[in-house]
Structure formats: structure tokens, C-alpha cells
Amino acid sequence: MKKAVAEFLGTFTLVFFGCGSAVIAGPAIAGATTVGVLGIAFAFGLAIVAMAYAIGPISGCHVNPAVSLGALVAGRMTTGDFITYVIAQVAGAIVGALVLYIIMTGKASGWTGGMGTNGWGPGYLGEYNTLSALIFEIVATFIFVVVILGVTHKLALGHFAGLAIGLTLVMIHIVGINVTGVSVNPARSIGPALFAGGQALSQLWLFIVAPFVGAALAGFVFKAGILYGEDT
């Protein structure tokens, strides 16, 4: 139960502050400076760093169904725990998006309805095509999960694991925000999409499939002993 609560809280924090940085601080505001790509990237990364040290000792701070899948494939968690984690993560993301939605509806000057959703194609940020979005999400998730499984391996120096993971997410966002808005996390995509609707929902499949493919490949790399052997 504690692990589920931890994963719920961690994913809530990631979505609320990460997507919140894009929705609240991202647009130009009279008398204020937009945080831009770097600000949004660091908001996501810092949310992970904070939660890694807050809930890492409890659940491992996956806060991402793709990370949990990578751990499952690598042999680091049971199928039962995987299911519990995913349910908690998706629930946390939905509630995080709900709280953000409620806050945005109170904006006196109006609001476009944006929720920091992921996407691709004409009209979305850099307007990259489906193949570009698919490749980016698979590769970025693969690298992200390799880093996570590597820095949390029993042979690794774990004291700075949270910092390494958070900064990796910052790096991924700096490169990928203009491609897909960066998912690498199905829960992070599901929560905001449910409230944004429209194109965000119709394109949601890619942000479930691609991260799972990338994560499964990363898990296999560890399970097969291509990098660290899980029995090392």
C-alpha cells in the first residue's frame, strides 16, 4: 500500500509541476518572462529529483509505467507489483492534471484549454511527422530507462542516482520538447490528454506504445547482461 501511495504522489507531482510549468509559466505573461524550453525541462527534471529522494526509499520512484515495465523485463519487480504501480501512476497523473485543470479554469483573462499535452504534426510545436515522433520517443525512453536501471544497479554508486535521473530527463526535454513535447512516460501523457481531449486523445496511442517499446528494450539489455548482468 505504501508503494502505491508513493507512486501516486510522485506521478501527481511530476504532472502537476511539469505540465504546470508549460501551461502556467510557459506562455508569455504581461510583465513576466516566460520560462521557455529550459524552464520547462528543468521543472520536469527537478520534480523527478525531488521525488527520487522523497519516495525512492519506499517505491523506487518509478512514477512512470515505462520505467516499471523496464524493471519488470529486467527482472527487478513482480508482475503483481507492476500492475499496482501502473494503476497508482496513472491515477496520480489524472489527479495531477485535474488539479491543474481546476486552477487554469480560474484564470480571469481566459485560457486556451492547453494542458501541456504531447503531440506531433501540423500545428503542434515543431510540426514533426509521426515517424519522427515515434523514433524520438522510443530512443529517448530507451536512454532514460537505461540510465535509471544503471544508476540503481547494486554495483552502481547510488547516492547521486536521483540527480542523474532528473538531469537525464532535463536533457531529453531540451532536445525533444519541439518534437513531441516529450512523454517518455505514458501516465504523464494520459492525465493531461483526458482533460484536453481532441487531438491529444487521438494521438495518445503513440505515447503509450513508444515508451513501452523503448523501456522493454532497455530492460532486455540488462536482463541479457549486455551491460550489467542482473545476476552480477
pLDDT tens for 63-100 read 999 999 999 999 999 999 999 999 999 999 999 999 99
Binning pLDDT at 50, 70 and 90, where does residue 34 land?
A: confident
Q: Helix, strand or coil for residue 178?
A: helix
- For residue 162, the model assigns a pLDDT of 92
Is the domain defined by 2-223 classed in CATH 1.10.645.10?
Answer: no
> Chain-wide mean pLDDT for the chain?
93
**Farthest-apart Cα atoms in the chain, separation:** 58
Q: What is the pTM of this model?
A: 0.93
